[in-house]
Amino acid sequence: MSAVLSQAAATPEGAAFVIQTEPGSYRDRNGCVFYRGNRIFRGLSKAALENWEALQRAPFFEANRKSGKIVDTWSVDPQKEGLAEGSWAGIVEHARIPFISYPYEWPFGMLKDAALLHLDLMCQALACGMILRDSSPYNIQWNGVHPVFIDIPSFAPLRKGEPWVGYRQFCELFLYPLMLQAYKGADFRPWLRGRIDGIPAEDMRRLMSARDLLRPGVLLHVVAQSALQQRYSSKGVNVKSQLATAGFDKSLIKRNVNKLADLVAKLVPPPIKTEWSDYDRTHSYDEKEFQRKLEFVRAAAATRRWRLVWDLGCNTGTFSRVAAEHADYVVAMDGDWMAIERFYQHEKAGAASRTILPLVVNLADASPNQGWRGAERKGLAERGRPELTLCLALIHHIVISANIPLADFIDWLASLGTAVVIEFVGRDDEMVQILLANRDDQYDDYQPDIFRQLLAARFDIRAEQDLKSGKRRIYFAEPKAKL
């Protein structure tokens, strides 16, 4: 398949020169991503190299590269970098994305904005006689709340009479998931996580009720597409050259892309109120105690500069923003999609941070390794270990709601090698009482002294403080120094 470039690392210094191919970069044989140390390279075939050169000449590329909508990419000289060219015609380097994420972790707004970016780039490419060869949200990553297109080889010159080959994929991976949430109120994330290629037209068609057929875009993009796909699925039809003969023109693609952009722009999630989306207003802290908690978190975060911070159970991001003052990058996660949606929209409209990434993650069932050989999409911890983790107003949900033993959770935190700011929510706190109200209390481990004991066994506690008159206790702890 690809030229696997490997140089054995006999020494720790040599390890920086070890080349690792990206196991998820295999579908398009024209190129392959590989890493060396902290740098990301891509080998290009002769055809891909020609496309890359054409892309660099296209006016829209430079403008979008500067504005951050297309990932910064530049050609490298293999000799200078000490890279064996192997069978590649050329090599480019990409700017690094701080933390990789996948569409099954994005709230509605992020998938929608990714779709709009994709369509926008399609429009601009078409104007320069180019097109995007595929339409996958996995080609889009994020710098904070700013989407960035990363699949450079996807740009190719548009041949005369060629239709938009990526249209079907656009529907399966962008449009149908958005419609599923907008029209049916169903969370699209499990669908995308469960099927790496997205929702097929046939399945989408079956989900549509009579009422849905009247909704924008359904008759054409779902019903007609499903019908036509079924009609032509088993025929060895070369539709592409037939269309070219009949004079298929890029203006047809343009019209479709523009109408899709109008359609996607109007899609919004239904106004459901999830349990925690109102947290900012309804959390159980009074103002004074909230400020004390805030100050503790701020003081802990300020002890040093952190390369990567995780805010677990971040809700609408108040503490993520505090951590971001002292961090290169913050990944803010919560299992409540509406809270993350609010977080994203608020951040986008406000400071529009490039360093805070909101994601929908259920910690009890976080994204695993997936895809071909379980290496195409990576599990959460594989994508970057945090140096600081915030676990505020979280532990009672982990132990009581999710039934994860306290020792296990602390063990997991310790395995990440991260410092923690963690809040123990006592049994006389209103929130815990609500959780225990309808459950058998099997949580013998959920006691403040047991918690402190478990924490102190794996971490060095640097600071601790009572909150809410002793109902909660917050800790700042660092991993035990290795001997």
Binding site for other proteins (CB under 8 A): 27-30, 133-134, 159-161, 163-169, 171, 201, 214-216, 219-220, 223-225, 227-233, 235-249, 251-253, 255-256, 259
The CB-of-32 to other proteins minimum distance in angstroms stands at: 13
Contact 306, 326 (CB under 8 A): yes
Residue among 212 and 280 whose Cβ is closer to other proteins: 212
Q: Report yes or no: 336 and 97 within 8 Å, Cβ to Cβ.
A: no
CB of 337 to other proteins, least distance (A): 28
Which is nearer to other proteins, 66 or 160 (by Cβ)?
160
Q: Does an H or E element contain 479, and which? A: strand 472-479
Q: How far apart are CA 450 and CA 466, in angstroms?
A: 16
CA distances for 96 relative to 24, 136, 142, 164, 327, angstroms: 16, 19, 11, 30, 17
Question: Going by DSSP bridges, is the β-strand pair 19-21/31-36 parallel, antiparallel, or unpaired?
Answer: antiparallel
**Which residue, 250 or 471, has its beta carbon nearer to other proteins?**
250
Q: How many angstroms from the chain centroid is the CA of residue 331? A: 10
Residue number with CB closer to other proteins (47 or 76): 47
Neighbours of 223 (CB within 10 A): 16
Q: Which is nearer to other proteins, 52 or 296 (CB)?
A: 52
**Cα separation, 364 vs 402, whole angstroms:** 7
Q: Work out how close the CB of 249 gets to other proteins at its nearest, in angstroms, rounded to a whole number.
A: 7
What is the closest distance, in whole angstroms, from the C-beta atom of residue 154 to other proteins in the complex? 10
Q: In terms of Cα–Cα distance, which of 104, 20, 44 is closest to 380?
A: 104
Q: How far is the CB of 239 from other proteins (least distance, A)?
A: 4
> What's the min distance (Å) between Cβ of 34 and other proteins?
19
Measured on CA atoms in the order 5, 373, 363, 103, is the torsion positive or negative?
positive
Q: How many CB atoms lie within 10 A of CB 252?
A: 13
Q: Is the dihedral of CA 250, 237, 136, 170 positive or negative?
A: positive
Which is nearer to other proteins, 252 or 302 (by Cβ)?
Answer: 252
Spatial separation of the C-alpha atoms in residues 340 and 276, rounded to whole Å: 10
Q: How far is the CB of 186 from other proteins (least distance, A)?
A: 21
**Side chain identity, residue 476:** F
The shares of helix, strand and coil residues in the chain, as percent rounded to the nearest 5, are 45, 20, 35
At closest approach, how far in Å is the CB of 251 from other proteins? 6
Considering beta carbons, is residue 4 or 228 the nearer one to other proteins? 228
Query: Cβ closer to other proteins: 252 or 268?
Result: 252
Residue number with CB closer to other proteins (148 or 260)? 260
Q: Amino acid identity, residue 49?
A: L
Nearest in space to 280 (alpha carbons), one of 329, 225, 238, 321: 321
In the complex, the smallest distance separating the C-beta of residue 129 from other proteins, rounded to whole angstroms, is: 14
